[in-house]
Amino acid sequence: MKGPPHVRIAWWSETWEKIAPRCAYWACGYARSRWRRMRRRKRGTRLEGKWYCRPECLERGLADVMRRARASPRPGARLAHRVPLGLLLLSRQELTAVQLKMALEAQRVAGVRKIGEWLQQLGFASEAQITAALARQWSCPVLRNSSEALGASRFSEVPLRLLETFQMIPVQFVESTATLVIAFSEGIDYTLLYAVEQMLGCHTVPCLVCPSVLQLSLRALAQRRGPGDVVFDRTEEGGECAQIIGNYTAKVRAQEVRLASCGEYFWVRLERLGQTSVNLVLRAPAHNLSILTASSKPMAAPTLSSLA
């Protein structure tokens, strides 16, 4: 390498960072020596573009990422300016004012369920009419495929637990444009669509489908997939989530960890070189989110034997 001394120094520093990246955990003892970093470069894991040399270091990074993800205000997943569903049906003369008043009164007395469900139960509107009205609310198309066609594509990267929780299902994946079409039945959650895009590196397009068709499709999809995703429904404390992810990362030797907050769940994707990715779904209790970082004990300084 030729050039002024400061140019050579900058070039060597950049080269060393490529062949022996520095651990992103500030208290990591391995970051002090370039030779030790180079010896461990193949064992590390990336998270949000940062490299962590050991599972213990990764847990610190995960705790911080999860704390920030849950502390951030959730963007508006539902449109606040939508025209009420009952008024849409009324304007299209698919419902009378008397029928709408009766349904609203039944909803008020019961205090539960959506107006569309009451309109169907009282026989004032069909499921197809309610779905079409929802589609007009959200300005998106209605999918009229049969239940057998939904979820039939080979694109099955979204965990089944999230599909069932948010009442959605993948419809089609267009490889040429990396576009995933996702069908919802109760309205579109754009925050979740953004999470899917970030986790899978694709573009998403939403549509609506009748709830009965979606339910049949989800059951059929569950039978075709079988056990696959790893789900943790109970975590005693926030720091436990980071420990679980760190342990699984080491177990499957993942090169990269992707994480997204999806409602009350954390969706974690462990990327492995030349192998199928592993999905983890963890429920994080709301009252424990504030101790995601505090629950992690300080990492002890490495001994000479551990630096080998």
Distances (CA, A) of 113 to 64, 81, 110, 184, 272: 38, 20, 8, 18, 43
Per-residue pLDDT at 288 = 47
Per-residue pLDDT at 20 = 58
Per-residue pLDDT at 146 = 62
Confidence of residue 37 (pLDDT cuts 50, 70, 90): low
- Residue among 63, 116, 78 nearest 238 (CA): 63
Per-residue pLDDT at 257 = 94
Confidence of residue 49 (pLDDT cuts 50, 70, 90): confident
Asked if residue 306 has pLDDT above 80, the reply is no
* Fold topology of 160-225: GMP Synthetase; Chain A, domain 3 (3.30.300)
In the numeric block, the tokens 């960890």 are attached to 257
- Give the least confident one: 204-218, 256-270, 291-305: 291-305
Per-residue pLDDT at 271 = 93
The percentage of the chain sitting over the pLDDT mark of 90, rounded to a whole number, equals: 39
Q: Using CA atoms, how far apart are residues 148 and 158, in angstroms rounded to an integer?
A: 18
Q: Where are the domains of the chain?
A: 5-73+230-297, 85-138, 160-225
Half-sphere exposure of 241 (CA within 13 A, CB side): 36
- Residue among 291, 253, 249, 299 nearest 66 (CA): 291
Q: What is the arithmetic mean of pLDDT over 265-280?
A: 91
Q: What is the arithmetic mean of pLDDT over 15-35?
A: 65
Asked if residue 92 has pLDDT above 50, the reply is yes
Full-model pTM? 0.77
Is the model more confident about 189 or about 38?
Answer: 189
Q: What is the pLDDT of residues 248-261, one digit of tens each?
A: 999 999 999 999 99
The encoded tokens of residue 27 equal 């208290």
Distances (CA, A) of 247 to 46, 70, 251: 15, 22, 6
Is the model more confident about 31 or about 217?
Answer: 217
Asked if residue 300 has pLDDT above 50, the reply is no
Per-residue pLDDT at 112 = 81
Average pLDDT, the chain: 79
Per-residue pLDDT at 150 = 66
Confidence of residue 221 (pLDDT cuts 50, 70, 90): confident
Q: What is the arithmetic mean of pLDDT over 27-43?
A: 59
Asked if 130 and 119 touch (Cβ cutoff 8 Å), the reply is yes
